[in-house]
A and B are shown apart, each in its own frame.
Chain A
Amino acid sequence: MNRVIKFFSFCLFVYLFTNEEGQAARIGELVDTDPWEQIKRFFSFSDRGLQLSLIGAVLFGAVCGLIGSFIVVRKMALFGDAVSHAVLPGVAIGFMWGMEKDPLAILIGATIAGLFGSVLVQAIVRSSRIKQDAALGIVLASFFAFGLCLIRIIQNHEGASRISGLKSYLFGDVAVIDRSDLIIMAIVVVVTVLLFCILYRPFLIISFDRQFAYSLGIPVRFLDAVFQMFLAAAIVISLQAVGVVLVSAMLIIPAATAYLLVDRMSRMIFMAMTLGIMSAALGVFFSFLGSNLPTGPFMVISSSLLFLLAYLFSPNNGRLTKWFKFISLKAKVRDENLLKLLYNYLETHSEAREGIEILISDIANLKKHNQKNMVSDLKRLQKNGAVELVDGKVSLTKEGLSLASTVVRNHRLWELYLTNEADYAADHVHDDAEKVEHLLSEEKVKELELFLDYPELDPHGKPIPGRVNS
């Protein structure tokens, strides 16, 4: 719900923002922009402003990935969101300090505001019946509102021209990043990376098992405060490029993507940093192509696209990967079942050997299948070299026989295992074996054979075929 409201308010913001003053300038710029020229300009890296933007993107993308990894595994995503909103009044106050954009004053002001916000959340939770999610909602919204008011006051007081730098804190514009910003960013990134290298183990233990961390004598509360401080700092240095509203996405999305892809914390951090840098750089690229479109949204869109790719194609858990596996298993099961049918037919009518011909109509009848379908299924098997089709008759090839007898062996071995070892009744085992026969690996089959002492007959008295080498 929270997110939905935020999304619409963001759309409203963008609408107002673009209507107010942006339109005229942009259309003019767009006319003489050839995308191809822009791409060439981008990759020549000769544009001074672009260089600064890209360095900035690399810096904050990395630090967001690092901090974000811990945010994701500690299930603190909402907390990160709250802190990112809570920094806004600090930005405004930092600005008021010298009535100009002084990056250091803004960093200090915003970090303090962010920390104050997180302390307030904890205080509310500890001293009242309000639970954490509601407390986060309260603090997030009120700090944000307070920040908006302050910015408006500055705007009224100083006139719109002087606060152009301040506007980027709301929506994110990488182009306003200048040399002094970059220096601050670089310092924050270096200190953060160093700190997490040194304190990696205690942070890991606290994140995994807080109570155990206490029991080891780790100063958990102190390290929590350190973590929150660096979280606030990471948010602040990303603010100008991404904007208050969207900055938490840069913490969460690259780290969540990495979480889908790898299963070790160290690798996850490394990958999240890489993805953070990639998303930020892609955002710069797209916004450069479209002549200074707002960078923040493009960075977030880039990172969500990367997330989508990981969600669909992750080698272990990707949705599409799983679907492909499922489909190919289904095809395998269909083919193996047909081969098994041929094998069983041969076994009952003559003998299971290669080259013996069967009338296709016979097996079609057996399966109550339409002859046409049966032929097309068999043709697929023929393509794989498992059967041969000659005028209405089908015969197993050597490979086909080998495959078929493997499946039949798996089936009968499993039936025997279930009846002998798991005390299944002999008339119950068939259905289970129908499923298991396609899934047993070579090793498992060997294990079963050894365990059952190389049996010759299944529980129904049918012979268990030996290994046929193709």
Chain B
Amino acid sequence: MSTESQKCPALEIHDLIVSYQKKPVLYGVDLAVPEGSMVGVVGPNGAGKSTLIKTVMGLVSHAHGWVKVFGGELRDSIKRVGYVPQRESVDWDFPVSVMDVVLMGCYGRSGLIKRPGKMEKEKAMQALVKVGLEAYSKRQISNLSGGQQQRVFLARALAQESDLYLMDEPFAGVDAATEVAIVDLLGQIRDQGKTLIVVHHDLATAREYFDMILLLNMRVVGFGKTNEVFNSELLQKTYGGRLTVLSEIAGEVAKQER
């Protein structure tokens, strides 16, 4: 065995079951994401892509199975994990500046009480430079376009300096030029040996963006190197209709258990 495979995976999920109001959204998900990979999570609407990310982050509780981050509980390595929520999940009229939002990313390291110092501000500024928003640092966030909002979230994640990133649709509502810039940036992060798990909506571009693909539709249809997984058979299986029978039966089982 090489040393590479002995290293514990950045994210490991075993037999994960998540239900919303007794309807299963994820069913028996197994996954082991090796460190230093950039994974695209692909699947139809309602396949549980966001739920998977939220479950890993502990925002949604799971009925069964376990999640390990860097070989342990999320709690123990929470400072090594960065989360980029969907852009629509916050109120963009909130009275904060672009800089304020990015500084929130430095919070994990600076502790509960301390005000952001000079070093943190520099770090936040560097993150803004990377996403090309340095000129906007003092603007209120309501004056930003959708693509700019997404880049602010990304800068906040960069300022976190995490080792594992979970991103929920970072390309939603972003123009083509910005999308290319973001993909480029994500590639740079990956090249630093960090792990990225990115929910992505567009099948056409997924193939060129990611080196690994997770095909998800309630359960894992396929996971592996992009060129191995991205074939018509598995795609057909992922997108070809919902698993109505599985969904119903699993719902029945969940009801029995309560």
Contact = CB atoms under 8 A, between A and B. Distances in A.
Interface of A: 73, 75, 198-199, 201-202, 204-205, 207-209, 211-212, 214-218, 259, 262-265, 267-268
Interface stretch (B105-113, B122-130, B174-182): B105-113
B72 to A, nearest CB: 14
9 contacts: A199-B112, A201-B112, A201-B113, A208-B90, A208-B96, A211-B57, A211-B85, A218-B107, A218-B112
A201 B95 contact: no
Contacts of A268: 95
Interface stretch (B75-83, B189-197, B234-242, B248-256): B75-83
A358 B195 CA distance: 75
Contact of A215 (B59, B91, B95): B59
Contacts of A211: 54, 57, 59, 83, 85, 89
A212 B86 CA distance: 10
Contact of A205 (B57, B107, B142): B107
A209 B115 CA distance: 18
Interface in B89-145: 89-91, 94-97, 100-101, 104, 107-108, 112-113, 115-116, 140, 142
A263 B89 contact: no
Given A202-B112, A262-B95, A265-B96, A212 B104 contact: yes
B90 A214 contact: no
A207 B85 contact: no
B75 A199 contact: no
B58 interface: yes
B108 A265 contact: no
Given A201-B107, A208-B104, A211-B89, A259 B59 contact: no
Q: Is the interface of B mostly helix, strand, loop or mixed?
A: mixed
Contact of B59 (A198, A199, A205, A214): A214
Contacts of B59: 211, 214-215
A267 B78 CA distance: 32
Given A202-B112, A212-B85, A207 B107 contact: no
Nearest to B86: A211
B88 to A, nearest CB: 12
4 shortest A-B CB distances, which residue pairs?
A: A215-B83, A217-B78, A263-B140, A209-B90
B34 to A, nearest CB: 22
Contacts of B107: 201-202, 205, 216, 218
A215 B115 CA distance: 19
Contacts of B82: 215
A194 to B, nearest CB: 12
B81 A208 contact: no
A268 B95 CA distance: 8
A217 B79 contact: yes
A389 B207 CA distance: 73
Contacts of A267: 95
Determine which residue in B91, B104, B108, B156 has the highest number of CB atoms from chain A within 10 A of its CB, and name it: B104
A220 to B, nearest CB: 10
A201 B96 contact: no
A259 B85 CA distance: 25
Given A201-B115, A209-B89, A214 B104 contact: no
Contacts of A207: 94
Nearest to B142: A263
Contacts of B57: 211, 214-215
A80 B225 CA distance: 52
Given A73-B91, A201-B104, 20 more contacts: A73-B94, A75-B91, A198-B113, A201-B107, A201-B115, A205-B104, A208-B91, A208-B101, A209-B85, A211-B57, A211-B89, A212-B104, A214-B59, A215-B59, A216-B78, A217-B79, A217-B108, A218-B112, A264-B140, A267-B95
